[in-house]
Amino acid sequence: MSFPVHLQVSRLVLPVTMLMASSSKFSDFSMFLLFLLPFGSIVPLADARAFFIFGDSLVDSGNNNYLATTARADSPPYGIDYPSRRPTGRFSNGLNIPDLIGQKIGLSESPLPYLSPDFNGKKLLIGANFASAGVGVLNDTGVQFVNILRMYRQLELFQEYKRRLSSQVGSKQAHKLVNHALVLITVGGNDFVNNYYLVPYSARSRQYKLPEYVKFVISEYRRLLMRLYKLGARRVLVTGTGPMGCVPAELAMRGTNGSCSEELQRAASLYNPQLVNMLNGLNKQIGKDVFISANTQRMHNDFVSNPRAFGFVTSQIACCGQGPYNGLGLCTQLSNLCPNRALYAFWDPFHPSEKANRLIVEQIMTGSNEYMHPMNLSTIMAMDSSI
């Protein structure tokens, strides 16, 4: 698999006509290079493939900052450990999972939120983040957050992105960039936390018993993934849900004496294996390993069940929050705030700390088949670079 290549260009010493004359094979690329000159310095995509992100708050890097919604993280103390020490819209004290994966695959910077006014020009070549906090697989998930980018809308914006990219680099190069990109999709947890179990006797819980609801969510997720494939995605990391019943919010609202919520844990135990089976079926249908399953439930369980083995003092109490386990309400400037975020597995009532995110990404990169199926990201990168 050959990756689209463009050079670091700030001042071009040799005339471009000399470069074009040097080889007939180089002529197409030279025209591509000429087109890119107005954008200034450009990073080499031979070393760092483009990266696209879809999903919910676990991977949102700030799209919701530009939407009229309460599902946002654009106020302190969010971002307290981010390089700028300022909130960015990431639901983290620092870097989130897309940031860390981006570093691992050689990106010079993280893909910008698609809605950012700075997302233009050469930024399109790095990739884009379409994720939006509060969304689920289902369109009715997160209705309380009103104006969020539901999954169908994220895919519409991806189509729009492809048109914008084609207008800049041509349809052939745009097609290559998308085909050779890495895609991460993290969605599904909100379909339980912010839908089925949002309130007692929710509409979905009256409509479906839990096993049937899980099958329904999986079937709808399959449609989304096939749509993503038809839009050109060829390497897609798909994360399962974490141990939903063990996050500080659920310990505070549903747990008993510090134990995890049995119902939400049951939902995770039903959902995650069926997700893996569905991905295996898609790969078999396509005839290639397009979809890679990341067992984030197991990744989380490692440090949730034995936090001290990973350098945490607790996996029950959030660093930022209030009430039991700091699990109630939002993380705000009025919340309790721990002095050392690296000692806490959870940053706020729902989201892992940067340190926990780093542990998750290490397993995504190098984890065994128990964590990554059919292969980890390091294997994918090595395979793709050798083709």
- 272, amino acid identity: N
Which of these is catalytic: 110, 261, 348, 373?
348
Residues in the chain: 387
Q: Report whether 18 contacts 44 (CB < 8 A).
A: no
| DSSP letter for each residue of 48-96 | S--EEEEESTTT--SGGGGSS-S----STTTTTTSTTSS--S-SSSS--
Which of these is catalytic: 6, 56, 57, 60?
57
Q: Report whether 195 contacts 138 (CB < 8 A).
A: yes
Within 8 A by CB and 6+ apart from 316, the residues are 246, 248, 251, 258, 325
User: Tokens representing 83?
Assistant: 């390089």
Phi/psi-derived region of residue 306, left when phi > 0, alpha when psi is between -120 and 50, beta in every other case: beta
Interatomic CA distance for residues 108 and 126, integer angstroms: 9
Question: Does the active-site annotation cover 57?
Answer: yes
77: preceding bond cis by omega (within 30 degrees):
yes
Q: Report whether 133 contacts 189 (CB < 8 A).
A: no
Which of these is catalytic: 191, 351, 353, 373?
351
On the 0-12 / 13-18 / 19+ scale of CB atoms within 10 A, 379 is middle
127-129/182-186 β-pairing: unpaired
Question: Does the active-site annotation cover 205?
Answer: no
Q: Detail the DSSP E strand segments found in 194-309.
A: 236-239, 291-294
Please report, for residues 123, 125, 178, 375, the alpha-carbon distance to residue 30 in angstroms, rounded to integers and kept in the order given. 20, 17, 20, 36
Question: Does the active-site annotation cover 348?
Answer: yes
Q: Which residues are catalytic?
A: 57, 348, 351
